[in-house]
A and B are shown apart, each in its own frame.
Chain A
Amino acid sequence: MTADADAATPALEIHDLTVSYHRKPVLWGIDVAVAPGQLVGIIGPNGAGKSTLIKSCMGLLPVSGGWVKVFGKSLRDDPRRVGYVPQRESVDWDFPVSVLDVVLMGRYGRLGLGRRPGKADREAARACLDKVQLLPFANRQISNLSGGQQQRVFLARALAQEADLYFMDEPFAGVDAATEAAIIAVLRELRSAGKTILVVHHDLPTARQYFDRLLLLNMNVVAFGPTEEVFTAELLQKTYGGRLTLLSEVAQALGAGANAGGGERA
């Protein structure tokens, strides 16, 4: 019965969401419902409000209107169902912690106030580090990692949260090829385990390959639907507001997609 109910209720439902900074609206009347088990890419130009959307879904920003439900409930009721990969620049990498300490932070939400992580949590954190191929670096201080490795540490921390719905803000930004491959493998594994994942992404050609659905965002939802329906020149142009460089990128992406039909990127 619960399984049925779960399948019926969307993993994420955003209704008429409006968010402003200092009264200036950044997101307007967002309406989105994401079914469970999907890998969704959030695409839009810089300043479109992608990070803002993610943060307000997680309750990190005050909203000026509308609501967000996660598996039919307000996030406040059960924050454990949601995992988060923030933008890499959002923290100080000189902070005195080891890689394993950071991944262990993913367990803190489950532990609750005042309880210390135990052996089981440590094992879980190590397993998550192993999944992103960083176990050998577990005891390093986090500034001793490359950018791609730092991004994978954040991914491992989110895995340690064992959530059902994940929000990831630009996990592919500025990473090397090995990290990109490792991340996408983990995302696909999560999806086949029935998790729902929303990923902010900035690269159009790979967006087309990686995601089941795309959410084209620029202050409001330009389009949301299966990738092959939404990834059209017209909609992308609408999203990116006719900026020339981006348009040519879009054209190139469309061309590459047409003659390759998936597989490797150009």
Chain B
Amino acid sequence: MNREPASEVERVVPNAFERRDPTCTQRVGDNALHLFRYARPALCFLGLLAFTAAPLHAANVNDLAAGDDGFWAQAARFASLTDPSVRYALAGALLLGLSCGLLGGFIVVRKMALVGDALSHAVLPGVAAGFLWAGTKDPLAIFVGATIAGLLGTATVSAITATTRLKEDTALGLVLTSYFALGICLLTMIQRLPNGNQSGIGTFLFGQAAALGADDIQLMAIVTTAAVGVIIAGYKELLVTSFDPGFARASGLPVGLIHHTLMFLLAAAVVIALQAVGVVLVSAMLITPAAAAYLLTDRLHRLLLLAAAFGVMSGVVGAFGSFVGHGLPTGPLMVLAASAVFAGAFLFGPRHGVAARWWRQRCQRARTRRENALKAMFHLWEEDNFGPEGVALADFAQRRRCTLEEIGVIVRELARHDFVTLDREMVYFTPAGRLRAGEIVRNHRLWELYLTESANIAPDHVHDDAERIEHVLGEATVRALERRLNYAKLDPHGKIIPSPRELHRGEHDALERPAAGGREGDRS
């Protein structure tokens, strides 16, 4: 096969970066596990902070106002579930966390977060209209009004993008603000009405789980059941239309119908969550739990389950905080709890988390430091014609351009990894150390040779690149490089490339001096 060198490089190099030192990966894995184990208590702690700090402060304010029970008494009342309003609030929080978390998963993977936000603001005039129509705070009337307003809002967005040059973000912004403004005006007008039932309507802005009644819960249960049912039955359709709508349509699936079903469920979920979370923040219950879940997994079904769990958790924490905090708005508390979960995932996620990434980098840097020291030691040993003597600590320090104390630290680290043994002033390779050092030197020289021979780069330009590549070349890539270079024995500077077969012959052979004969011959 007559392949282009460029494509060979492409094939070789990306693989090279995939490989990590097995011990290091193991450590990363272990540490990721540890981090995850720590993450849970940390999350709980953050969650606790989120709902204890605020209510405690609020409790003081309330003590001044009404001289109330303490925090723990309230908490006990919440946990005992004797109070029916607690039961409703808790059930409502569970249901809304579940439906918003599940649907939010789709919103996030479809990149429709802004649509969720616009939808949640657009329902407000519908809430007011439903109230005006029924004359009371009738859940069904408000549900119908709000759902219609929400769907009207999304239809307006589609109409604007389809008929003008404006793009979706602008259309969403327009609809969000204008509907919301209309809603606020209507709500203010309602509050001025001489109607006895208007008091509850104000909670729609920031949410009050304690205001939920039995018929609210019934409606929430119906919507949540519908959402769960549709997601289970239509999981594959939702998956393929989210990932590749063009392909889904080409395979004959009714993409439009699926999209509209999802939008309808979304509108319904937003509306049932309104009373507990409030118009202003309800989109956070869609986005935040799902976003946290997205950081922790890379399969959609797991993402949905995690998002639902996070949603339920934040909902319950919010309801609890609002109860012990005497009428502190539920919505902001739920959103704070969800944000705490997100922060936990962002910082401590085992794969994409900041802490895990930092640890991996640290690990990689430490490994590079060790390998560079091993390489320097190999060079010294090579200059001694692979003699039986060890390397003097002072020579080693001189070569690494550092003090005896500094080299001592590195040597002790190498000894901890069983790469060398230290006998007073002399350092000796262990078989494993010599193997690793040989591999690094081989990687370096092979790569230099590859760059000069196949990529036509001048020999004095290749060293720096090889310094980086040597630490990441995988065994498979090394074999491929060797094949390409016809098992060359000398690097561009005339130094011997240690052979992988010799290096890997095993501990027993590696204990002896490498066979000098063939190598000396090559060198002359």
- Residues on A lying within 8 angstroms of B by beta carbon are 55, 58-60, 79-80, 82, 84, 86, 90-92, 95-98, 101-102, 105-106, 108-109, 111, 113-114, 116-117, 141, 146, 157, 161, 176-178, 264
0 or 1 for each of B219-254: is its CB under 8 Å from A? (1 = yes): 000000000000001111101101110111111111
- Extra contacts, 17 of them, besides A79-B251, A95-B300, A105-B243 (Cβ < 8 A), are A59-B249, A84-B251, A90-B246, A96-B294, A96-B302, A97-B300, A101-B239, A101-B300, A105-B236, A108-B237, A108-B248, A113-B253, A114-B234, A141-B298, A157-B247, A176-B11, A177-B3
In the complex, whether B2 has a CB less than 8 A from a CB of chain A is yes
Q: Tell me if B243 and A108 are in contact (CB < 8 A).
A: no
Contact A96 B299 (CB under 8 A): yes
Q: How far is the CB of B103 from chain A (nearest CB, A)?
A: 16
Which among B3, B242, B247, B253 is the interface contact of A86 at CB below 8 angstroms? B247
User: Would B253 and A95 count as touching, CB distance under 8 A?
Assistant: no
Name which residue of chain B comes closest to A85, CB basis.
B247
Cβ contacts under 8 Å, B294 to chain A: 96
User: In the complex, are the beta carbons of A146 and B234 less than 8 A apart?
Assistant: no
Q: Which of A55, A90, A105 has the most CB of B within 10 A?
A: A105
User: Contact: B251 with A109, CB < 8 Å?
Assistant: yes
CB atoms of A108 and B240 under 8 A apart: yes
* Residue pair B109, A96 in contact (C-beta under 8 Å): yes
Most B-side CB within 10 Å, residue of A84, A97, A178? A97
A60-B3 Cα distance, complex, nearest whole Å: 38
How many residues of chain B get a CB closer than 8 Å to chain A's CBs? 36
Bitwise interface map of B from 151 to 179 toward A, beta carbon under 8 Å scored 1, else 0: 00000000000000000000000000000
- Tally of contacts, chain A with chain B, CB under 8 A: 92
- Dominant SS among interface residues on chain B: helix
- Render B105-144 as a binary contact track against A, CB cut-off 8 A, 1 for contact: 0000101000000000000000000000000000000000
12 contacts between A and B (CB under 8 A): A79-B252, A80-B252, A82-B250, A84-B250, A86-B244, A86-B247, A95-B300, A96-B299, A97-B300, A105-B244, A109-B251, A111-B236
User: Which chain B positions have C-beta within 8 A of A59?
Assistant: 249-250
Question: What is the chain A residue whose CB lies nearest that of B293?
Answer: A96
A241-B233 Cα distance, complex, nearest whole Å: 52
> Is B10 part of the binding interface, using a Cβ–Cβ cutoff of 8 Å?
yes
Closest to A175 in B: B7
Measured in the bound complex, the distance between the Cα atoms of B302 and A109 in whole Å is 24
B389 CB within 8 Å of chain A: no
Instruction: Select one of B4, B14, B236 contacting A116, CB under 8 A.
Output: B236
A75→B243 CA distance, assembly (Å):
23
Residues of A within 8 A of B235 (CB): 116
B233 interface neighbour in A92, A95, A114, Cβ under 8 Å: A114
Residues A176 and B250 in contact, CB atoms below 8 Å apart? no
Q: Are B240 and A95 in contact (CB under 8 A)?
A: no
**Do B243 and A95 touch across chains, with their CB atoms under 8 A apart?**
yes
B243's contact among A82, A91, A116, A141, by CB below 8 Å, is which? A91
Given contacts A98-B299, A113-B237, contact A108 B251 (CB under 8 A): yes
B217 at the interface (CB under 8 A from A): no
- What separation, in Å, do the CA atoms of A102 and B247 have in the docked complex? 11
Find A108's partner among B10, B109, B253 (CB 8 Å cutoff). B253
